[in-house]
Chain A
């Protein structure tokens, strides 16, 4: 197991360096003067330009600049936002919990519905239920989620009036964030109705962001389950006279879940991509919306830092998924 972890880690480092190279190059690839981009002012006078150039170390050789950037990054220095003048790291971690909360809820929604739906579809293969689940899954997979969000707003906010259109909680409530997770904070605040308001704000974004993972998980569970149900050991378990739910729920499911977990891990990256769209539709104050707003505001240090942090998060999550995968499936661990 240790050897497995070390191999994974040794792949991680070059990948991280590659990502920093990419974000480092980004500022230099954008057309225009990097100093004007980084300061956010146009038409600087030459003296100030030269001074800033020296201050930022842009008059040094590129390699030295990169080294400076990399050591800065490792010490948590990702520059300052042009618009708010705040360190990018602070901005990111203020908004990060909102995205994490939304992503976790979306994933729970997808897993809670997708796995049972996939199992049932496999067990009743060829039935009407199977066909409707697979039809719905393919539709979900083909769904432009930004449009799906707008449709749900029309139905549930416009016509039925059940859910709010945007934000994380009603403006009536105000309390200091403790964890950054609105569900927990609103619960802790003790204000009556605050928690309910947070939940109502969360429902539609959760459904929208969870739709594609839900479709993928349902499809994957069904096909993995179908494969496992043909195995000899399942037949043996049935022949022993075990109750069908025991055979399916314990014997078959345990092995069927292995590919499902891989797919869930792969969906984490998809979730971050989807968060950009979902947060934009629902004005959810998370990092997805922040990145897009930063691009539109030409706040390049924020874009640069945000991309680096998101990529790092995804790399770490992928590593964790790999490790969990190795833990539950010895065949992977022992393969070179």
Chain B
């Protein structure tokens, strides 16, 4: 009798589910690409935080004797400017290190803005079916009928070029997907018993929306947010490249490429390195996002 009780309790503790975060991490770390992505993102965050200390020069300092100096491994390169200098003698490595700040801030602000507004609109559309819902969803359809980069370009044309307006414009173009995702997830949840139970026990609308339903809609939204983060970096760089985002002499990666364009056949390093920075950061975020999706998607779990 005693023995059975003991073995029972042993069985129970073996079957006790691990903490959700722990479980998530166990799935996540199996994906080597995702872990590599996360590591690189951590590195970028580190660089952005300590750019002032790590960077060998000031990002705006123009060394008048060192125009278009090649990187260190080329014949006339020096260790003073490891990745060379640009057309007005600024250190490219320093500018790239500082550029990580802009990219992370852009990603963060765009995701926060679009997620907040997107979730709010999506939840409202799910809770207040009818004409309000139709209006919101129609508006989203219209936005989707325009290529997103072009929509961003139009909004920047209205607001005027600049980094902040570019971020605002990009946030707006990400709204439709987030609104649709939130609405669809919320409608599925609304038909479930626990929501009815909560309603019956007297929960009011705001509580029902934010505390009862929203947490259960978060998984697809988190994945979408990670992917939006990397897309935001790409789109902001594209706007910067078109002269509609961050303005020179800001060391934003896309803007650096725009300034470097005319030297494409004369000084390859001015063009190459900022792009490598964009590609690696976006790639790392996408690897991370893919891993996140696989770890959060219950269908794929063994």
Known: A15-B142, A269-B148. A144 touches B238 (CB 8 A): yes
Q: Which of B139, B150, B160, B287 contacts A291 (CB 8 A)?
A: B150
Size class of the A contact interface (CB-based, 8 Å) = 35 or more
Q: Quick check: B141 and A30 within 8 Å, CB to CB?
A: no
Which residues of chain A come closer than 8 Å to B241, judged between CB atoms?
144, 146, 277, 280
Query: Which residues 232-280 of A sit at the B interface, judged by CB distance below 8 A?
Result: 269-274, 276-277, 280
Q: Quick check: A273 and B234 within 8 Å, CB to CB?
A: no
- What distance in Å separates the Cβ of A216 from its nearest Cβ neighbour in chain B? 12
Q: Quick check: A154 and B268 within 8 Å, CB to CB?
A: yes
What is the CA–CA distance of A165 and B265 in the complex, to the nearest angstrom?
Answer: 10
Q: Report if B115 contacts A (CB, 8 A).
A: no
Which residues of chain A come closer than 8 Å to B100, judged between CB atoms?
none
Which residues of chain B come closer than 8 Å to A29, judged between CB atoms?
158
Q: Quick check: A277 and B158 within 8 Å, CB to CB?
A: no
- What distance in Å separates the Cβ of B27 from its nearest Cβ neighbour in chain A? 19
Known: A138-B286, A154-B265. A147 touches B257 (CB 8 A): yes
Q: How would residues 280 to 296 of chain B score, 1 for a CB under 8 Å from any chain A CB and 0 otherwise?
A: 00110111001000000
Q: Quick check: B257 and A146 within 8 Å, CB to CB?
A: yes
- What distance in Å separates the Cβ of A37 from its nearest Cβ neighbour in chain B? 11
Known: A138-B287, A139-B283. A153 touches B150 (CB 8 A): no
Q: Quick check: A303 and B282 within 8 Å, CB to CB?
A: no
Q: Quick check: B282 and A142 within 8 Å, CB to CB?
A: yes
Q: Report if B6 contacts A (CB, 8 A).
A: no
Q: Quick check: A314 and B157 within 8 Å, CB to CB?
A: no
Q: Report if B138 contacts A (CB, 8 A).
A: yes
Known: A144-B238, A144-B278, A147-B278. A15 touches B271 (CB 8 A): no
Known: A142-B279, A147-B279, A150-B257. A18 touches B147 (CB 8 A): no
Known: A142-B282, A158-B265, A273-B150. A296 touches B254 (CB 8 A): no
What is the CA–CA distance of A280 and B239 in the complex, to the nearest angstrom?
Answer: 12
What is the CA–CA distance of A129 and B146 in the complex, to the nearest angstrom?
Answer: 36
Q: Which of A26, A147, A157 contacts B271 (CB 8 A)?
A: A147
Q: Which of A154, A270, A314 contacts B145 (CB 8 A)?
A: A314
Q: Quick check: B150 and A154 within 8 Å, CB to CB?
A: no
Residue of A nearest to B258 (CB): A146
Q: Quick check: A158 and B147 within 8 Å, CB to CB?
A: no
Which residues of chain A come closer than 8 Å to B254, judged between CB atoms?
144, 146
What is the CA–CA distance of A273 and B230 in the complex, to the nearest angstrom?
Answer: 17
Q: Quick check: A142 and B157 within 8 Å, CB to CB?
A: no
Chain B contact residue count (CB 8 A cutoff)? 41
What is the CA–CA distance of A273 and B285 in the complex, to the nearest angstrom?
Answer: 22
Q: Quick check: A150 and B275 within 8 Å, CB to CB?
A: yes
Q: Quick check: B154 and A307 within 8 Å, CB to CB?
A: yes
Q: Quick check: B147 and A314 within 8 Å, CB to CB?
A: yes
Query: Which residues 104-162 of B sit at the A interface, judged by CB distance below 8 A?
Result: 138-139, 141-142, 145-150, 153-154, 157-158, 160
Q: Report if A22 contacts B (CB, 8 A).
A: yes
Q: Report if B261 contacts A (CB, 8 A).
A: yes
Which residues of chain B come closer than 8 Å to A315, judged between CB atoms?
145
- What distance in Å separates the Cβ of B30 from its nearest Cβ neighbour in chain A? 15
Which residues of chain A come closer than 8 Å to B145, judged between CB atoms?
15, 19, 269, 311, 314-315, 318
Which residues of chain B come closer than 8 Å to A138, judged between CB atoms?
283, 286-287, 290
Q: Which of B160, B257, B275 contacts A31 (CB 8 A)?
A: B160
Q: Quick check: B271 and A311 within 8 Å, CB to CB?
A: no
- What distance in Å separates the Cβ of B219 from its nearest Cβ neighbour in chain A? 19
Q: Which of A144, A165, A271 contacts B237 (CB 8 A)?
A: A144
Q: Report if B56 contacts A (CB, 8 A).
A: no
Which residues of chain B come closer than 8 Å to A15, judged between CB atoms?
138, 141-142, 145
Q: Report if A295 contacts B (CB, 8 A).
A: yes
What is the CA–CA distance of A88 and B282 in the complex, to the nearest angstrom?
Answer: 38
Q: Report if A181 contacts B (CB, 8 A).
A: no
What is the CA–CA distance of A254 and B237 in the complex, to the nearest angstrom?
Answer: 39
Residue of A nearest to B267 (CB): A154
Q: Quick check: B142 and A22 within 8 Å, CB to CB?
A: yes
What is the CA–CA distance of A271 and B150 in the complex, to the nearest angstrom?
Answer: 11
Q: Quick check: B146 and A154 within 8 Å, CB to CB?
A: no
Which residues of chain B come closer than 8 Å to A143, judged between CB atoms?
279
Q: Report if A183 contacts B (CB, 8 A).
A: no
Which residues of chain B come closer than 8 Å to A158, judged between CB atoms?
264-265, 268
What is the CA–CA distance of A11 and B141 in the complex, to the nearest angstrom?
Answer: 9
Enumerate 5 A-B pairs (CB-CB under 8 Å) in ascending A order.
A22-B142, A138-B290, A146-B237, A273-B149, A274-B149
What is the interface of chain B, defined by CB distance below 8 A to chain A? 138-139, 141-142, 145-150, 153-154, 157-158, 160, 230, 234, 237-238, 241-244, 254, 257, 261, 264-265, 268, 271-272, 274-275, 278-279, 282-283, 285-287, 290
6 additional A-B pairs beyond A144-B234, A154-B264, beta carbons within 8 Å, are A138-B287, A142-B283, A269-B147, A271-B147, A280-B242, A295-B153
